[in-house]
Structure 1
Amino acid sequence: MLRANTPLRTLALAVLRSYSLIFFSQHRGFAALLLLLSFANPGAGAAGLAAAVLAVGAGWLLGFNREVLATGGHSFNALLVGLALGTFYEPGWAYGLVLLVGALLALLLTVALGGWLAPRGLPPLSLPFLLVIWLLTPAAEQFHALALNERGIYWLNEMYAVGGAPLLHVIHWLNGWHLPLMPDTYLRALSSVFFQDSPLVGLLMAAGLLWHSRIAFSLSIVAFLGAYAFGMATGAYAPGGINHYNLGANYIMAAVAVGGVFVIPSAASYLWALLSVPVTAVLVAGLTTLLARLGLPAFALPFCLTSQLFLYVLLLRQRADWLPLTPIQRYSPERNLYAYTNDRERLQSQLYVHLSLPFLGEWQVTQGYAGQPTHQGEWADALDFMIRDVDGRTYRGPGANLADYYCYNKPVLAPADGVVVEVVSHIDDNPIGQVNTRQNWGNTVVLEHGPGLFSKVSHLRPHSTPVQVGERVRRGDLLGTCGNSGRSAEPHVHFQVQATPYIGSRTLAYPLAYYLSGRGPEAQVRSFRVPAEGETVQNLPPSPLLSQAFDLPPGFRLDVRNPDDEAAPAQRWEVFTDAYNHTYLYCHHSGAVAYFERSTATFSFTAYYGPETTALYFFYRAAYRVLLSYQPQAELLDAFPLTLVRNPALRWAQDVVAPFVRFVRPCFALRCHGADDAYHPRRLQLSSRAELRYFGRVRPLQQAEIELTGGALAGFRVQLPASSSPLRFVCRPVA
């Protein structure tokens, strides 16, 4: 993730993010607002800040995970402990010692519980805070130098001493607000997260929550209204019994957690969040009564138990067709949703073994999935290929002999790396028009590509197979040549994927990774699809220039500078690998990070974190996806995540309805051109464009030109809609 420029900046951001992480956020503006609002009670605000600083500093010195520490993940429980102690106890030496012990204990419990729960797929949430408070509450009775806070009784006198009559008038004016019961209760419930009882603080918190996430805000409203409806239906609220505790933060926080943070937001997740409301209500009522007998507060325990219960049962499912769990936490329901849907659409390379077409050149699918006459029943998901000329004929001359057919004796290749598990090569070819149903599949090779994944090519020429059972082959290795053996009236290649290694196994629907569909200027690049019957297809030949230019191994470094600004220093980009083996480009100048992945056929950026005015951000948008094959006639299309939308009104409107419908689509397109040699280019240009499509309108976001020379990135040029002249960047690899 983001690496700060200095340790001090990292620690300061960790303290700040401790505030927003209470609401599952990394939004700095929201965090700063919460920090200020905590000082609505100055004593509690100071104690919370001190506890967060202590936890962050101790976590750094003890060597705990720096990435987790930077998010506030090790310190937000200490912050809650500080806010609670500052609310309930008077300042003093004893108070300071208890605050120090409480903050450190919260840190240790957060790390310990996190380490225990993480392998089980569960977050510790606020459980460390609760354990510390439950320990300190009875212990405080033994600390006679620790006095309960009585400022609530005399606080108007204290405010008069601070600001005189003008401040007192402001306080009386604020307290004079007469909001309707429901809004007043909702706002007080939000403020109670920071141990306050103020509709004004709650209003500002609600505004901050809306600023951070429209989905989280809407879930908070859904949970609050659901709790009210459940309480009225069950008679839980006696006259005058509706207050910000029994309609409080437990419902809101649980609904946000299970409906939008740890679960990908959707219509189903909103129902899941609504279902959490009655469970939380039972826990609030039951735990409050039980813990009161022990003299302990329930605080956030109902929220923690509801959230962990609802998440744990999802982890135990055998199928996850709906309510998918968040795979990578981005600390925003919108970012989680947009990244998940975008990755599911474009990063299919992570889901499949990359299978290529088992031949060279252009072939046509003469019988596709569920095609007549033989691809039926358990063997429906198979493909037959032949070569046709421009007139649609599969042979030259009269077509009476096997050698007349264009595909006869053409090489048949391994579609991916694998191990040979079955070979048949002794069956004679049939004369044209005749079939051998007794030896249906003819000469065949079966390869194993992984557990439960096999491919099979059939109807090969007799004795053309150079491989043996147990031999390891690479993609593109020769398996045999096209023949007419088995149930084959004329030469063709039969190709199928199956889950078992036997000849005659039932077929398995499985896409081909990358191929070119069509002929000439109309040809289009297809990725992870199954070719249709009648479609002309061929493999994508790799381009050494493109493959070398976008080969960015860990440790690779690149200096990038703007030649139009001689005073600006060069920006150093460097490739790193994180703890999850994900590779990313890191800009030492700005701290920006761009994650990417590279397959045999494409280079793709997957995520960007950092300022949106950097050269790395412009390059991220310019080279969002690059085909590593020179195909000047083909345009590569892709889709950006919705986080690219910067129009506030448009973005917020989409955010509100994002779990249910998408009407905004950020799109990407790229073409190759300007090659100095059509077959073996050493110089090449890539033209890309990023645009926003909504309601039938197209709004350009960026146009870019990328220059490749001698197997390296030489530079790129970016034209923004609001700029009259392009931004230019020159790149130089660093040894």
Structure 2
Amino acid sequence: MNRIRTVVGPFGAAVLRSYSLLFFSQHRGFAVLLLLATFLNPSAGAAGLAAACLAVAGARVGGFSEELIQLGAYSFNALLVGLALGTFYQITGAFWVVLAVGALLGLLLAVALSGWLGKSGLPTLSLPFLLTIWVLVPAADQFHGLLLNEASIYWLNDVYALGGEQLVSLAQQVGEWSIPSSITTYLRALSAVLFQDSVPGGLLVAVGLLWHSRIAFSLSVLAYGGACGFGLLAGGPVVSLAYYDLGANYMMAALAVGGVFLIPSLKSYLVGLATIPLTAVLITGLGKLLAGVGLPLFSLPFCGTALLALYTLLLRTRPEELPLTPFQSYSPERNLYAYRSDQARLRHQLYYQLSLPFRGEWLVTQGYNSGLTHQGEWAHALDFMVADADGKTYHNTGVALTDYYCFNKPVLAPADGVVEALVMHIADNAPGATNTHQNWGNTLVLRHQTGLYTKLSHLRAHSAQVQVGEFVRKGTVLAYCGNSGRSAEPHLHFQVQATPYIGSRTLAYPLAYFLTQTAGGQQFDSFTVPQVGDTVCNPELNPLLRQALAFAPGYCLDVRSADDPTAPAQRWEALTNAYNQTYLRCRTTGATAYFERNDTVFYFTAYQGSQHAWLYQLYLAAYRVPLTYLPTETVHDAFPLSLVTSPGLQGVQDVLAPFWLFIKPEFTLQYGTPDNPYHTRALCLRSRVAVRVLGRTTFEQEAHLALRDGALQEITIHQGSHTQRLLCSTVSS
């Protein structure tokens, strides 16, 4: 991407991406091959390029989203309009007028439909192209200077116009290759997406598609074979299938549904195959309807199949079996790898974040499905007490309630919520006695969301600090720990439930972040449930980590190479997009690193751009950083497989990725010794990236992040014998 920006600039890069986006790609090499393929028909190639340029220019003048302009989202439909017009009409003065109108109409329809369909989470696909062509084709009859192009019937004439006798000779040699008809039909079908009937053109598209994505290529082959097989089952010969329908409808529908909108898997491949009969019905039915009004069918069946499938999938209540792509990386492989790694590391997106409802370290004395009382409908609950180093829960004789360490300790709100129910009149039991008539004792229920409540029981009588209907923030003192109800000694009962009633059945639900005491120190746990015998506490936020990795919108860093101080700095800027996603963007390279940050953890979620960019080094080095100081803990995480740089190894994994992953990139992080443990001003984080193939490490990189005075000061990267130091300084935007 950086080379594109350097050579042709942002405008040219946006035009070029218009080509690759025809196949849901942002691959620059694929885009170049598609551009070359369109010029096998010179008039169509020139018209398509002109239309894409007009659309990009119009989008910029119109002030539309620069992000979508750079993706090619506003211009690829105009490109299709140009290719279609250049294929079917001669180049005349009137042609350029119609082309300009068509390009701008395609742009306006792309903007309007993206806003309308985007509200429902649906893409525009090639609908703007279809609507534009349906308007232009009837209107073309009124333009007497617009003449049908018969030259395209004899495609060698176009080749001669492009490169003379030498190119014609080369094309004839390619045409005389002994290629099985099944392969030539496949290649012609691919070229038909560009309104061609050309084996060389299809070969360029096929090479580009394979270069871009092995999954996409395999789906195109699968759809081709499936369409031919369905044609035979339906009673017709394979040759009766039009090249355009094979490429622009059957293949594109299977690719979109099976590999782009769904996370690739065996089941997504089967869904891709299932689009074939639906596409066939739409081709037959809609073709007859449109023929009656004199309009071409083109890619309408593809749009209908893909949108119907996607909208239906969006309405599911259980999407786990066939997950939709949550973040589009414009590569089936990248989508799959990111999803696989994010399943574990981004579990917070599946749950409301609940914290431990107390301060300090408490012992789990009864957990899920344990003891006498956590059984049946009330199995998913936790009991907590405070214990000393000897494991005792009281001092002195334990005869008095005040002898127990947890008695009268504050009980906190585990998350923001509203007090839904409150009982505070039940007297506390003497140690050893229980009140089975009022089982839960003094209890408080909080509503966090519809269908999500937490209940805290056995509280001290008359200790409530809140009242019913009051909104409370996370960490607010609600009451104090007691010994009421069915409780022989002071403890805190905590459970999650789906209804607001005291006595409701429990709900298995993880706690967001907590520390567990181990023999060597503390273990950082996230979105899991503490076990019986664990001593746990809430993480304590480190001010230096919190401030240095805040990266609030508008925050800017200038990054320089310590090895070459005279080289210009790269400016990294923190931004937020329309979807409230926060990211760092390098103004120099265009690289983008998306991140999230909550009260406890900073982590990167996605990266787009060159792996040679300096921002990529920060993405690797600070992939996941808990914002609490963990001197003895090693933090673990999993990278997406796009980290792998070996083309051959990556290619093999790409082919097998929907079915088996044998490459495992890993991330670990350790904390250095701070300059002052009580008021930390300087701290070093040491991270390591390793790629394991069948259990053997094939790539390794270490990085040190130096934090000082509330800011990121230096990044040092060690890879083999090579060391790179980057110096960071905060600047005003």
**Global fold match (TM > 0.5):** yes
Q: Which residue of 2 aligns with 1:713?
A: 712
Q: Which residue of 2 aligns with 1:703?
A: 702
**Separation in 2, partners of 1:506, 1:488:** 19
How many corresponding residue pairs? Answer: 731
Q: Secondary structure at the match of 2:215?
A: helix
| 8 Å Cα contact 1:185-1:243 kept in structure 2 | no
Whether 1:533 aligns to 2:532 is yes
**Separation in 1, partners of 2:154, 2:428:** 102
Measured after TM superposition, the shift of residue 243 of structure 1 is 5.5
Distance change (3 Å), C-alpha of 1:733 and 1:146: closer
Measured after TM superposition, the shift of residue 224 of structure 1 is 0.8
**Separation in 2, partners of 1:153, 1:309:** 35
**Separation in 2, partners of 1:136, 1:591:** 38
Distance change (3 Å), C-alpha of 1:8 and 1:663: closer
Equivalent residue letter for 1:199: V
| 8 Å Cα contact 1:436-1:488 kept in structure 2 | yes
1:483-518 CA-to-partner distances (Å, cap 9, x unmatched) read 221101122111112233332222222211111112
Distance change (3 Å), C-alpha of 1:360 and 1:312: closer
Equivalent residue letter for 2:13: L
Measured after TM superposition, the shift of residue 712 of structure 1 is 2.2
| 8 Å Cα contact 1:461-1:485 kept in structure 2 | yes
Whether 1:734 aligns to 2:716 is no
Q: Secondary structure at the match of 2:666?
A: strand
Equivalent residue letter for 2:558: D
| 8 Å Cα contact 1:632-1:673 kept in structure 2 | yes
**Separation in 2, partners of 1:728, 1:254:** 47
Distance change (3 Å), C-alpha of 1:390 and 1:299: same
| 8 Å Cα contact 1:185-1:247 kept in structure 2 | no
Residues 348-387 of structure 1 correspond to what in structure 2 (within 5 A)? 348-387=347-386
Q: Which residue of 2 aligns with 1:214?
A: 214
**Separation in 2, partners of 1:251, 1:493:** 61
Residues 667-686 of structure 1 correspond to what in structure 2 (within 5 A)? 667-686=666-685
1:247-272 CA-to-partner distances (Å, cap 9, x unmatched) read 44311001001111122222221111
Residues 237-256 of structure 1 correspond to what in structure 2 (within 5 A)? 237=237, 241=240, 244-245=243-244, 247-256=246-255
**Separation in 2, partners of 1:443, 1:639:** 44
Distance change (3 Å), C-alpha of 1:100 and 1:709: closer
Q: Which residue of 1 aligns with 2:71?
A: 71
Equivalent residue letter for 2:226: G
**Separation in 1, partners of 2:595, 2:117:** 30
Q: Which residue of 2 aligns with 1:298?
A: 297
Segment drifting more, 67-76 vs 152-161: 152-161
1:589-624 CA-to-partner distances (Å, cap 9, x unmatched) read 222222211111111111222222232211111111
Q: Which residue of 2 aligns with 1:403?
A: 402
**Separation in 1, partners of 2:537, 2:159:** 79
| 8 Å Cα contact 1:354-1:513 kept in structure 2 | yes
Equivalent residue letter for 2:318: R
Whether 1:41 aligns to 2:78 is no
Q: Secondary structure at the match of 1:104?
A: helix
Residues 77-156 of structure 1 correspond to what in structure 2 (within 5 A)? 77-152=77-152, 156=156
1:538-586 CA-to-partner distances (Å, cap 9, x unmatched) read 2211112222222222122222222221211232222111111111122
Measured after TM superposition, the shift of residue 8 of structure 1 is 7.6
Equivalent residue letter for 1:732: S
Q: Secondary structure at the match of 2:364?
A: strand
**Separation in 1, partners of 2:573, 2:639:** 24
Distance change (3 Å), C-alpha of 1:466 and 1:175: closer
Measured after TM superposition, the shift of residue 194 of structure 1 is 0.9
Residues 585-600 of structure 1 correspond to what in structure 2 (within 5 A)? 585-600=584-599
Distance change (3 Å), C-alpha of 1:553 and 1:135: closer
Equivalent residue letter for 1:548: Q
**Separation in 2, partners of 1:185, 1:704:** 51
Measured after TM superposition, the shift of residue 209 of structure 1 is 0.4
**Separation in 2, partners of 1:260, 1:516:** 40
**Separation in 1, partners of 2:449, 2:157:** 76
Q: Secondary structure at the match of 1:111?
A: helix
Measured after TM superposition, the shift of residue 187 of structure 1 is 0.8
Segment drifting more, 412-421 vs 206-215: 412-421
| 8 Å Cα contact 1:420-1:468 kept in structure 2 | yes
Segment drifting more, 210-219 vs 553-562: 553-562
Q: Secondary structure at the match of 2:559?
A: strand
Q: Which residue of 2 aligns with 1:689?
A: 688
| 8 Å Cα contact 1:520-1:633 kept in structure 2 | no
Q: Which residue of 2 aligns with 1:324?
A: 323
Measured after TM superposition, the shift of residue 177 of structure 1 is 2.2
**Separation in 1, partners of 2:265, 2:154:** 48
Measured after TM superposition, the shift of residue 293 of structure 1 is 4.3
Measured after TM superposition, the shift of residue 719 of structure 1 is 0.7
Q: Secondary structure at the match of 1:22?
A: helix
Which TM-score applies when normalising by structure 2? 0.94
**Separation in 2, partners of 1:704, 1:555:** 26
**Separation in 2, partners of 1:655, 1:710:** 44
Distance change (3 Å), C-alpha of 1:163 and 1:107: closer
Equivalent residue letter for 1:641: P
1:191-240 CA-to-partner distances (Å, cap 9, x unmatched) read 111111122221221111011111111111111111111111121228x5
Residues 150-549 of structure 1 correspond to what in structure 2 (within 5 A)? 150-152=150-152, 156=156, 165-237=165-237, 241=240, 244-245=243-244, 247-396=246-395, 398-549=397-548
**Separation in 2, partners of 1:363, 1:404:** 16
1:697-716 CA-to-partner distances (Å, cap 9, x unmatched) read 12343211111222222222
Residues 654-665 of structure 1 correspond to what in structure 2 (within 5 A)? 654-665=653-664
Q: Which residue of 1 aligns with 2:633?
A: 634
**Separation in 1, partners of 2:162, 2:683:** 70
Distance change (3 Å), C-alpha of 1:362 and 1:129: same
Segment drifting more, 533-542 vs 210-219: 533-542
Which TM-score applies when normalising by structure 1? 0.94
Q: Which runs of 5+ in 2 are unaligned?
A: none
Q: Secondary structure at the match of 1:229?
A: helix
| 8 Å Cα contact 1:409-1:481 kept in structure 2 | yes
Distance change (3 Å), C-alpha of 1:90 and 1:478: closer
| 8 Å Cα contact 2:5-2:13 kept in structure 1 | no
Q: Secondary structure at the match of 2:317?
A: coil
**Separation in 2, partners of 1:111, 1:255:** 25
**Separation in 1, partners of 2:8, 2:693:** 43
1:101-156 CA-to-partner distances (Å, cap 9, x unmatched) read 22222222222333332223332222222233333333333333222223246665
Measured after TM superposition, the shift of residue 520 of structure 1 is 4.5
Equivalent residue letter for 1:492: H
RMSD: 2.4
Q: Secondary structure at the match of 2:240?
A: coil
Q: Which residue of 2 aligns with 1:554?
A: 553
| 8 Å Cα contact 2:41-2:159 kept in structure 1 | no
Measured after TM superposition, the shift of residue 331 of structure 1 is 1.5
**Separation in 1, partners of 2:310, 2:353:** 33
**Separation in 1, partners of 2:134, 2:411:** 71
Equivalent residue letter for 2:463: S
| 8 Å Cα contact 1:365-1:386 kept in structure 2 | yes
Q: Which residue of 1 aligns with 2:601?
A: 602
Identity of aligned residues (%): 59
Q: Secondary structure at the match of 2:377?
A: helix
| 8 Å Cα contact 2:465-2:479 kept in structure 1 | yes
| 8 Å Cα contact 2:384-2:492 kept in structure 1 | yes
**Separation in 1, partners of 2:268, 2:438:** 54
Equivalent residue letter for 1:514: Y
Q: Secondary structure at the match of 2:443?
A: strand
Q: Secondary structure at the match of 1:360?
A: coil
**Separation in 1, partners of 2:253, 2:685:** 48
1:262-307 CA-to-partner distances (Å, cap 9, x unmatched) read 2222222111111110111222233334444444332212212111
Q: Which residue of 2 aligns with 1:51?
A: 51
| 8 Å Cα contact 1:671-1:686 kept in structure 2 | yes
Distance change (3 Å), C-alpha of 1:518 and 1:477: same
